[in-house]
Structure formats: C-alpha cells, structure tokens
C-alpha cells in the first residue's frame, strides 16, 4: 500500500508542476485534474498496478485522493478479485 | 520506424482496397454529399469497422499502428470515409472500455461487424471547444432518463444506428447510448459544409426522449472527464493518421503533376521554388507519420504519455495536412482549383481537420500547459 502511494505521489507530482500532494488532498476539488489528466490517471493505474478500471469503478470517491486510489488498487489486486489484467 | 511483417501486409491490403474502391468514387461522393451504403458494406465486410474491437468480440483486433495505417490509407482516398471509421471506432471503443456487460452484449459484436453504425453526439451550437457548455439535459424519471436538447454537426448522424449522447444530469455531465429508433429522437441532414462533405452529417434533436437507465455509460458525472475524453483520444489518433493520408495524397498528386506539366520550357519539378514546396511536403508528411507511429506504440503499451503524444501528433499532422494541401493546390495552379483534380477536396478536407477533435488552439493550450508543468517539475526536483 505504501509503495503504491509512493508511486502515486510521484506521478501526480510530475503532472502538477512538482507540487507535493497530501495523501488526503482532494485533487479534483483542488482543480488539478482536467479531462486529459483524468484519463492519464486511469492509464497510470492500469499500467503500473496491472488492474483494469471499468464502468463500475467510475466513482469520484475512488479517485479523489491518493489514499482513495491506493485503496482501489488494493481492492482490485486482492486475491479474491478477478478484475486485474 | 519499422513496421513488422503483419503491419506491412495490412498496409498493402489497405492501400489496394483504397485504390480500387475509394479513390475512384471519392470526388463524386464529395460533390453529391453522400456516402454510398455499398462502400460502408465493403468496409464492414473486410473487418475494418471492427478494427478496435477485440477478436472474439466480433472485431478484427488491430493493434494501434495497424489501426493508424488503415486511417492513413482511407484518409489518402477520402476523408469522409475515414471520418466514418473515426466516429464508429470511438463508439465501439467506448462500449468496449466503459460499457456495462449488457451494453457490450447488445452492441459490441454488431459494431465490430459493421452491422450497426455508431456516431458521437457531443457538439452543440453553443458548445464546441468548451464541451462543458452543453445544454442538453437528462432528467431522471423512474427507470429512465428523459433527454431534451439539440446536437449539431454529428458526423454520420444520417446513417448511424447508435448515438453516444452527452447531457447534463443531476450529478454532472453524463453519457448515454441512444438507438436511432427511440421516440423523441430525430435527425436532419446538414449540407453545404466546407469539407468532408460526404460524411453524412446531421443535426440531432431530442425532445423528451426516454432512455433506459441501463443505457448510461459510466457513472453520472464522468461523461466528459472519462467517457468523452477516452473517445476523443481515439478520435484524435484516428484524425492524426488520416491527416498523414491527406498529406501523402497531396504529395503523390503533386509529384505526378509536376512531372508532366511544363512552364517556361521546363517541367514544374525542375523549378526550384516547386522543389522547395515538394521538400517541405516530404519532410512534413514523414515527420507527422513518425509522431503518429510514436503515439501508436505508446498506446499499445498502455502508457499514460500516449494521451499527450496523441495530441501532439494530431496537432502536427493537421497543420501539416493543411500546409501540404495548400501547396499542392498551388503546384496544380488553376487545375488545382477545379474539381477535375482531387487536391481542392484535400485542401477543403484538411481545413476541417484543424477544427475537429480538438481545434489546433485547444491542442496548443494542452501541449503548452504540459510543457510548462514539466519545466516546473524539473525546477522543483533540481531546485
């Protein structure tokens, strides 16, 4: 989980001018995310954590903070979940 | 850039198809503002309309470079027909990517086989580059949403069986799949556009159109950020390659013409100012193709950078196509301004490419902002 958060911090920081993002900072509400970046986040999660983001995952609560995305990754990579690539 | 064996074979197949079945009719279709259904059936029968649909789901499962090469070749022959591949693929990809299992079962195979045609309905009279300004409304009512609004300039809207429509719902911008036969949905043809005149463009009117909730794509509020965004990313990629095709067609036509036409006692190709234009065409088309190929490689790798690289490829390829088409008309002189040569059509079509799927100016904002962020990050890391 901490490893995932570290990767997410680095990725988000790279795309918003090197700014440090808090783990509970709401990136959509803060205006950091345009539509292009929203899709880049999806591709980043899929490629780096070998998961598939699908229709049922499209809820703001899954993407709004680093902690939320880390939890989504954890859920989707849990052994009982067959939604990974 | 080196294509693998399968990509080379497919490119040869696409080129042969376009030379035999597209090039001969393209000027007529443009003049008549119609795409013959038989041509669409030919695309479908070869599996081209299922390019982005996986094998096993009714599609051809082309990789991104193969899909790009198909767009280039169709763009070389007829941008209107290429625009069918663009919008249809955007819809097929959306269902494949974000559709519910029910939507996939109902539509994916039909779209992949070209038994149903898809169209993308985002633009409105007052909402072009600023998609957030759409006014179409979706109000929940029992098991349905009720859609009311007016969509404009919908490519292949005259022919489509299925529309991906964007509207404002209670929880934000949302996306819906609408079948043509829904009560309250009507289309009317749009004629007299500058270019891609055979793209069967239509206006779409929604008057109290009831759409089952199961036709919602993705969640409410994600219509623009994820559904439209991923579809338009596919659209930009398709248009970018299509522009390489326009550029290639202009180059080939210019070389042929400059090798036959004499002025001042010498062939045009022996005039140095013509040579300069040809050089710029060759370099521009090659560079655009390389940017498209780079974007394709990144797309197949699922790389997040593919989105920005696709935007860069689209921006450069569209500008190149417009420049190359303008010079091609110039080389052809008065003949290039007549309907006897295809370059005047390429010129008009190329201009359209600078407007659609994110105008040049929108791409400039996107690319510049990304470059500024990269510099800021570099400063933050090193400073």
**Quick one: tokens of A12?**
């988000």
| pLDDT tens sequence across B62-77 | 999 999 999 999 999 9
**Per-residue pLDDT, B380:** 62
Distances (CA, A) of B8 to A22, B1, B13, B69: 49, 12, 9, 9
CB contact under 8 A, B380 and A18: yes
Q: What is the pLDDT of chain B when averaged over all its residues? A: 96
pLDDT of B171: 93
Q: Which residues of B are catalytic?
A: 357
Q: Is B307 on the interface with A (CB under 8 A)?
A: yes
Give CA torsion, residues B67, B298, B284, B30, to 10 deg: 30
Distances in Å between the alpha carbon of A44 and those of B195, B301, B304, B318?
A: 37, 11, 6, 28
Q: Is the pLDDT of residue B264 over 70?
A: yes
pLDDT greater than 80 at residue A85: no
B100 neighbourhood in chain A, CB within 8 Å: 55
Check: CB of residue B270 under 8 Å from CB of residue B122: no
Interface test with B, best of A15, A35, A42 (most B CBs within 10 A): A35
Q: Do B380 and A19 touch (CB under 8 A)?
A: yes
Residue B382: band (very low, low, confident or very high) from pLDDT cuts 50, 70, 90: low
Residue of chain B minimizing CA distance to A54: B98
Nearest CB partner across the interface for A18, out of B100, B366, B381: B381
Inter-chain residue contact B224 with A46, CB threshold 8 Å = no
| A11 neighbourhood in chain B, CB within 8 Å | 304
Which whole-number Å values give the CA distances from B329 to A71, B90, B248, B338, B340, in the listed order?
Answer: 58, 32, 14, 9, 12
**B226 at interface of A, judged by CB pairs closer than 8 A:** yes
pTM as predicted? 0.95
For B310, nearest residue in chain A (alpha carbons): A36
CB atoms inside a 10 Å sphere around CB B381: 10
Residue B233 near residue B296 (C-beta atoms within 8 A): no
3-state secondary structure of A27: coil
| pLDDT tens readout for residues B164-203 | 999 999 999 999 999 999 999 999 999 999 999 999 999 9
Contacts of A15 in chain B (CB under 8 A): 373, 377
B226/A33 CB distance under 8 A: no
The CA distance from B213 to B226, in Å, is 19
With a threshold of 0.95, tell me whether the complex ipTM lies above it: no
pLDDT tens-digit profile of A9-68? 999 988 877 778 899 999 888 777 888 889 999 999 999 999 999 999 999 899 999 999
pLDDT band at B1 (very low <50, low <70, confident <90, very high): confident
- Which contiguous run of DSSP H or E holds residue B203? strand B202-212
What pLDDT shows up at residue A82? 56
Over residues B270-290, the mean pLDDT reads 98
Interface check B248 vs A, CB under 8 A: no
């Amino acid at each position: 989980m901490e490893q995932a958060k570290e990767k997410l911090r680095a990725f988000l920081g790279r795309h918003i001018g090197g700014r440090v993002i808090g783990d509970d900072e709401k990136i959509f509400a803060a205006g950091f995310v345009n539509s292009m970046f929203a899709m880049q986040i999806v591709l980043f999660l899929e490629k780096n954590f070998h998961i598939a983001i699908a229709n049922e995952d499209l809820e703001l609560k899954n993407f709004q903070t680093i902690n939320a995305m880390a939890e989504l990754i954890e859920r989707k990579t849990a052994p009982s979940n067959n939604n990974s690539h | 850039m080196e294509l693998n064996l399968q990509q080379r074979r497919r490119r040869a197949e696409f080129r042969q198809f376009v030379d035999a079945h597209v090039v001969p009719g393209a000027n007529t279709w443009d003049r008549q503002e119609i795409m013959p259904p038989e041509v669409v059936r030919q695309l479908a029968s070869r599996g081209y309309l299922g390019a982005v649909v996986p094998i096993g789901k009714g599609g051809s499962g082309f990789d991104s470079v193969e899909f790009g090469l198909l767009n280039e070749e169709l763009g070389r022959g007829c941008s209107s027909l290429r625009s069918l591949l663009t919008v249809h693929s955007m819809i097929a990809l959306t269902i494949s990517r974000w559709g519910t299992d029910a939507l996939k079962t109902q539509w994916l195979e039909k779209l992949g086989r070209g038994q149903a045609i898809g169209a993308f309905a985002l633009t409105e009279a007052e909402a072009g580059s600023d998609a957030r300004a759409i006014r179409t409304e979706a109000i929940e009512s029992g098991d349905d949403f009720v859609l009311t609004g007016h969509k404009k300039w919908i490519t292949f809207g005259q022919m489509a069986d299925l529309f991906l429509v964007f509207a404002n719902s209670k929880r934000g911008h949302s996306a819906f799949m609408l079948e043509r036969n829904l009560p309250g949905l009507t289309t009317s043809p749009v004629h007299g556009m500058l270019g891609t005149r055979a793209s069967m463009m239509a206006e779409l009117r929604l008057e109290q159109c009831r759409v089952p909730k199961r036709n919602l794509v993705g969640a409410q509020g994600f219509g623009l950020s994820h559904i439209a965004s991923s579809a338009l990313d596919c659209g930009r990629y398709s248009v970018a390659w299509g522009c390489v095709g326009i550029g290639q067609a202009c180059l080939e036509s210019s070389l042929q013409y400059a090798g036959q036409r004499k002025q001042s006692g010498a062939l045009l190709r022996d005039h140095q100012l013509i040579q300069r234009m040809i050089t710029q065409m060759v370099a521009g088309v090659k560079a655009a193709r390389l940017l498209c190929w780079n974007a394709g490689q990144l797309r197949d790798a699922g790389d997040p950078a593919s989105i920005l690289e696709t935007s860069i490829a689209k921006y450069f390829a569209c500008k190149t196509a417009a420049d190359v088409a303008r010079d091609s008309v110039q080389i052809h002189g008065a003949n290039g301004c007549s309907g006897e040569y295809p370059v005047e059509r390429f010129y008009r079509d190329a201009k359209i490419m600078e407007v659609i799927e994110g105008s040049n100016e929108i791409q400039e904002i996107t690319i510049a902002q990304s470059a500024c962020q990269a510099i800021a990050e570099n400063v933050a890391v090193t400073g």
